[in-house]
Amino acid sequence: MKIKIKRIDKSLPLPVYQTSGSVGFDIYARETTVVKPKGIALVPGNIIVATPPGYMLVVALRSSTPRKKGLHKPHGIGVIDNDYCGDEDEVKIQVFNPSEHDVVVERGERIAQGIFVRIDRFEWDEVDAMGGSRGGFGSTG
């Protein structure tokens, strides 16, 4: 499937799947970003993506980002809706710096990865009772 993509800075590469088994493509930082201690920052990802109907784009940190940078994604993942694709809708990576020192994300650094996920829309069927209970959070050990 071909996906429309726009790079903001064409001197940076298009995202690529690094191996034949990769499910995510790398996203590059468009500009150097300083993440202040205990602060949250948005790292511009240099791409606008026309995610096809029936899909969403999930943005997650690369597995090496917490280890190398000490940065975390405050809400785990980023969800990019398929209607977030206008000329100003650059994918940004939200990061949190839990340390006491500035963390620098350099321009051109691979900071995150994007994964297309098939989705469905559902209708609610509201009921007054759901039936038997399994026992609560963590009940399976």
Distance of CA 47 to the CA centre of its chain: 12
**Confidence at residue 131, expressed as pLDDT on a 0 to 100 scale:** 85
Rounded to 5°, angle at Cα 111 from 68 and 116: 130
CB 58 within 8 A of CB 117: yes
Structure tokens that stand for 25 in this block? 């493509």
- Tell me the HSE value of 90 on the side-chain side, using a 13 A CA sphere: 18
Give per-residue pLDDT as tens, 92-124: 999 999 999 999 999 999 999 999 999 999 999
For residue 38, is pLDDT > 90? yes
More confident residue, 75 or 125: 125
pLDDT at 140 over 70: no
Asked if the model's pLDDT at residue 6 lies above 80, the reply is: yes
Distance CA 4, CA 40 (A): 29
Backbone torsions φ then ψ of 68, nearest 5 degrees: -80, -35
Give the pLDDT band (50/70/90) at residue 141.
low
What are the sequence ranges of the domains in the chain? 5-118
Note the pTM of the prediction, 2 decimals. Answer: 0.86
Protein fold of 5-118: Deoxyuridine 5'-Triphosphate Nucleotidohydrolase; Chain A (2.70.40)
Tokens of 1: 């499937």
Q: 48-103 pLDDT, tens per residue?
A: 999 999 999 999 999 889 899 999 999 889 999 999 999 999 999 999 999 999 99
DSSP conformation class of 72: B
